[in-house]
Amino acid sequence: MPQHDANHADATPLRIAMVLFPRLTQLDFTAPFEVFARVPGAEVAVVSETLEPVVSDTGLAILPTHTFQTAGTADVLFVPGGPGQIEQMANAALLDYLRRAADGAAWVTSVCTGSLLLAAAGLLQGYRATCHWLSIDQLSLFGVEPQPSRVVVDRNRITGAGITSGIDFALEVVAKLRGGDLARRLTLQLEYDPEPPFRTGNPRVADAALVEAARRNAAPMLEERRRQSLAAAARLGVRPGL
């Protein structure tokens, strides 16, 4: 039996705050946005430090609708990831906003390395969470239990793995908020029926040589990410788990 009647759930007001920062990975943001924006009764606030266009790591510019000061409260807080996450680990304005928003949110969520930003704000300690496979080990630095799953739900924290998991993640959030009927309906509307032409999208199924090459290519970025994660954990007073 469905948890909620779909028509009744559609009438329930819902406010979702989705955070932007320079050099985010746009699909981390736009895939969940596409799902959330289709939820009847939902208001999606696109929140950034200023109202200037925010440029992704691949050059797509996205316009915020609110600043950290004007965003107000939200039922759902969402944080994407991407290369720009590294410098945001020391952005006090962003981290302070995350703490304020999380304090009043029913659900605190992320995709990809957005979970590291939640961790740097002190919002994941003692929780299970996931992240992009190249960086999931860094969650342990913050007292977070890494879970290498596509989507991880632990109490009111919902985290998605790397980039393309954003649709799976968002549908899981919708199911929690409004019930499975709406989530199934949106899955059909979006024709979400993936058949990847190459089964190399996760280190569990990719050739070992391909995985090693990906690690080598990402090594400089991962080294800097780890340096920033260690510094952020130290500011929180968390003893690293690695």
In Å, how far from its chain's centre is CA 125?
Answer: 16
CATH number assigned to the domain comprising residue 232: 3.40.50.880
Contact between 82 and 57 under an 8 Å Cβ cutoff? The reply is: yes
Over range 123-150, report the average pLDDT: 98
Q: Looking at the domain assignment, is residue 139 inside a domain?
A: yes
In this prediction the pTM is 0.94
pLDDT band at 7 (very low <50, low <70, confident <90, very high): very low
pLDDT digits over 46-69, tens only? 999 999 999 999 999 999 999 999
Query: Among the residues of 106-207, which ranges form H helices?
Result: 114-120, 166-178, 180-189
Q: Looking at the domain assignment, is residue 41 inside a domain?
A: yes
Domain span including residue 11: 6-236
**Does the structure show a pLDDT above 80 at 241?**
no
**Measuring CA to CA, how many Å separate 202 from each of 1, 4, 110, 122, 168?**
34, 34, 19, 28, 15
Check residue 11 and give its pLDDT: 58
pLDDT above 90 covers a percentage of the chain that reads 93
Q: Looking at the domain assignment, is residue 1 inside a domain?
A: no
**Does the structure show a pLDDT above 50 at 33?**
yes
What is the spatial distance between Cα 135 and Cα 221, in angstroms, rounded to a whole number?
10
Q: How many domains does the chain have?
A: 1
pLDDT band at 239 (very low <50, low <70, confident <90, very high): confident
Q: Looking at the domain assignment, is residue 176 inside a domain?
A: yes
Check residue 12 and give its pLDDT: 84
What is the spatial distance between Cα 76 and Cα 116, in angstroms, rounded to a whole number?
18
Instruction: Indicate if 131 belongs to the active site.
Output: no
Q: Looking at the domain assignment, is residue 242 inside a domain?
A: no
How many C-beta neighbours within 10 Å does residue 221 have? 13
Q: Looking at the domain assignment, is residue 195 inside a domain?
A: yes
Q: Looking at the domain assignment, is residue 241 inside a domain?
A: no
Phi, psi of 10 (to 5 degrees): -60, -25
Q: Looking at the domain assignment, is residue 192 inside a domain?
A: yes
Structural Rg of the chain based on CA atoms = 17
What is the spatial distance between Cα 19 and Cα 98, in angstroms, rounded to a whole number?
9
Q: Could you tell me the two tokens for 162?
A: 């790397």
Residue of 42, 89, 112, 139 marked active site = 112
